[in-house]
Amino acid sequence: MSKVIASWSGGKDSCFACYAAISQGHNVTHLVNFISQEYHRVRFHGTEAKLIQLQSQATGIPLLQNPTPDDGYEQAFKKAVRSLLGDGAEAMIFGDIFLEEHKEWTERVCRELGIRAIEPLWGRAPEDVLSEFLDAGFEATIVSAKSDLFDEEWVGRTLGGEFLRYLKENDIEPCGENGEYHTFVTDGPLFEQRIEISESRKVLREGYWLLDTRQYQLVGKDALSGKS
């Protein structure tokens, strides 16, 4: 069983890639997450840093969370990953599906670090990835969406059949690989506890509807309310 680390945004694709790699026999020793040095939120997703920390607690997988500046991202990325290589990690997992420039970047950077890039979702039909993610029992909340493609009502809702139909009817890329929307995973087979978001508000910023979470907590799998 090889030791690997997982690139982790908190969203569905990185989570499902991690799950797929574990299913293939890899031992994930750490989740690696990068947040904005200025805002302490996940880059591009806008998810608060503390929510990612809750995911680490919920999955039981240690987290390396690294604030990075707007400039010098690659250097900061390499430094963070290199700090984990002494534990014997041989590869890093990524959740790319079809964007060639992303895959080329991850493969080059990993090669320069002396490890392999593992892409469990690569080349698969996006609609299949999304359906299998849900069929496996994962739950995710829509935390950001392009305002020219989605109304405010979709943000904060759980990913599910109605949303999938909307994507298909409007010819929107199913997994949001081009940044059409982003999610935050709250539960699933990787999780020993689930995350409950109890208070939030919606904010329109730079062409995106964003979910600004105010209150959240870990609860037991069988909890029906906010009390664990």
187 within domain boundaries: yes
For residues 106 and 153, state if they share a domain.
no
Amino acid present at 73: Y
Sheet hosting strand 63-68, strand order edge to edge: 63-68, 27-36, 3-7, 91-93, 116-118
The pLDDT tens digits for 141-187 are 999 999 999 999 999 999 999 999 999 999 999 999 999 999 999 99
For residues 75 and 151, state if they share a domain.
no
In this prediction, residue 61 carries a pLDDT of 98
b/e map 157-189, b = 16+ CB within 10 Å: eebeeebeeebeeeebbbbbbeebbbbbbbbbe
For residues 112 and 134, state if they share a domain.
no
Q: Is pLDDT at 6 greater than 90 in this prediction?
A: yes
26 within domain boundaries: yes
225 within domain boundaries: no
In this prediction, residue 69 carries a pLDDT of 80
For residues 102 and 83, state if they share a domain.
yes
Q: Is pLDDT at 199 greater than 80 in this prediction?
A: yes
Q: Is pLDDT at 35 greater than 60 in this prediction?
A: yes
In this prediction, residue 97 carries a pLDDT of 98
For residues 139 and 210, state if they share a domain.
yes
For residues 193 and 167, state if they share a domain.
yes
Q: Is pLDDT at 224 greater than 70 in this prediction?
A: no
Confidence of residue 71 (pLDDT cuts 50, 70, 90): confident
In this prediction, residue 223 carries a pLDDT of 56
Domain harbouring 40, CATH code: 3.40.50.620
State the chain's mean pLDDT as an integer.
93
For residues 211 and 146, state if they share a domain.
yes
For residues 31 and 109, state if they share a domain.
yes
The pLDDT tens digits for 89-137 are 999 999 999 999 999 999 999 999 999 999 999 999 999 999 999 999 9
Domain harbouring 190, CATH code: 3.90.1490.10
The residue range of the domain holding 178 is 126-219
For residues 14 and 111, state if they share a domain.
yes
Backbone phi and psi for residue 192, each to the nearest 5 degrees, phi listed first: -90, -25
For residues 180 and 108, state if they share a domain.
no
227 within domain boundaries: no
Confidence of residue 8 (pLDDT cuts 50, 70, 90): very high
For residues 130 and 95, state if they share a domain.
no
226 within domain boundaries: no
228 within domain boundaries: no
